[in-house]
Chain A
């Protein structure tokens, strides 16, 4: 592995060597040093509501069964038979009390315990030759959840998820805790794009600057009224803990009026007011900012927008959760879920789903243009000239590193972390700074080096 310290230094000062978006050696380092010890999203509890429900999800090349066992507990198990390594579950989702390996028939309960082993006595001499007791499919080294979002970590010594997320949970609640029941997920739509996984994560973390240009067409057709250039820069971007995101500035009003402005019905607003802390309500009600896109390091993103879904002036909010699952240095599988508060009225759920389909996901009118940019960027980053080009990611900084726009004081932004209005690439720099910190650290004891 060649020394990457010059690359990491450039990244830290906001001058991004273009080849990091399409470089096999960099991707090998990301595998070894980043994905091996970051908390990675695998599923939401609402996707497996009943005992026996399962979904199969990947982390890079590793396949995991995310299952709810008969006791109702969520288990995440490596999808590889203990005997000769066959995948014990080859469906994407379903309900099963047991997984039976198709190769030689070992069977496992949905909590991972090995319970059936054909000809145990004849083949192994029974327990004397092979102790069945205590044998389980390999559990994910670490498992934790927040508001029903299930994460795993390949490093058994990883700090708890809460510590990892840090103050980003303040913002995560806007997306995932609008009522006592939390959100429910549908999907995901899954598709592959010939783009590096980091680009989507950076874009959702803080790229307000692209909205008026890339997404001109959705404003022109009356789908979304907000992205006009002047409006977008009045929003705040914030970074807190493991994530950061963007917001829109709302017209004057109370918290009730502002939540109604983006299309939440009265009963949902009432529940949000019960769920959210005074500071969380202040960001919306007094400071006047409404969450839009966000990313949690390394590859999980969120979006909340409020388009028109019919030929009227009414708008309706939707939430999407998406993961940029790396396939290689130049290919990513996008998993895009629609999420909605479980207690929302049925009619709201329908229209919010419609809003999602029109805007994001495989057919979304925002997403279509985003992906075109990212694919083009990735393919151009492959060659020798890209190794000579440092992309300018210093927006918001003067030459001497002072900020063009100072951070908002607490009186103007009640949320934790650092927030500022105006165009800036501070969040993209923050995301890539974490990336550089990971790539610099050799894999520790807990993480397995490749």
Chain B
């Protein structure tokens, strides 16, 4: 069972999200499906580093659910590790498109001048689903972000579970769950994507 998909199904805005789940164990690293998924993720990090969000938006399915829950510290055995009913991102294509459109205005001050960013991607593994047109991909991402010349740099570390879908135009991201590794973020805002 996918441990992260439950976040999407429990989220207040996740009703529309595709529900395909992983099956079996990790695909061999030589498997063509894994190579495809891995390359898709690597290419995506370059778009995010370059803040080419218009191109990035084009890689998202129309029914995407893009979710980043708020992590909380709970006792072992509490049975939950995210703030109930709250997230940093709980997005559909419309709300993501507004965020991207805002960056394209000349007045999104928080990214003018832009941050220098590097999305470090690792720990990629791929799973088949019951549907040959869908793959589930786990990955780790470490975002390094630096602004200006006097500010300290900021880091965000997170695990992600993605659902990739094969379409006539190529693979598209249909669901992403981002499990950030901090309950209190050490970054001034999330004017970024993970």
Contacts and interface: CB of A to CB of B under 8 A. Distances in A.
Given A192-B184, A194-B152, A363 B89 contact: yes
Given A217-B105, A379-B150, A350 B74 contact: no
Contacts of B12: 349-350, 353
Interface stretch (A158-166, A282-290, A367-375): A367-375
A217 B108 contact: yes
7 contacts: A91-B73, A91-B75, A221-B101, A311-B94, A333-B184, A362-B190, A363-B190
Contacts of B110: 368-369, 371-372
Contact of B102 (A94, A186, A188, A217): A217
Q: What 7 A-B pairs have minimum CB-CB distances, sorted nearest first?
A: A191-B185, A216-B107, A372-B110, A217-B107, A187-B86, A190-B184, A363-B190
Interface string B91-103: 1001100110110
Contacts of A223: 98, 102
Contacts of A216: 105, 107
A66 to B, nearest CB: 14
A338 B73 contact: no
A363 B189 contact: yes
B27 interface: no
Chain A: interface secondary structure?
Answer: mixed
Given A186-B83, A221-B101, A310 B190 contact: no
Contacts of B186: 191-192
B70 A189 contact: yes
B73 A221 contact: no
A190 to B, nearest CB: 4
Q: Which of B105, B150, B184, B189 has the most CB of A within 10 A?
A: B189
B188 interface: yes
B90 interface: yes
A350 B86 CA distance: 11
Contacts of A218: 102
Nearest to B78: A94
B72 interface: yes
Contacts of B109: 214, 217, 369, 372-373
A365 B188 contact: no
Nearest to B90: A357
Given A363-B88, A372-B110, A379-B151, A350 B188 contact: no
Contact of A221 (B85, B86, B91, B98): B98
A354 B107 contact: no
Given A91-B74, A191-B185, A221-B105, 19 more contacts: A93-B72, A93-B83, A186-B85, A186-B86, A188-B70, A188-B83, A191-B186, A214-B109, A217-B105, A218-B102, A220-B102, A223-B102, A311-B94, A350-B12, A363-B88, A369-B108, A369-B110, A372-B110, A372-B188
A92 B108 CA distance: 34
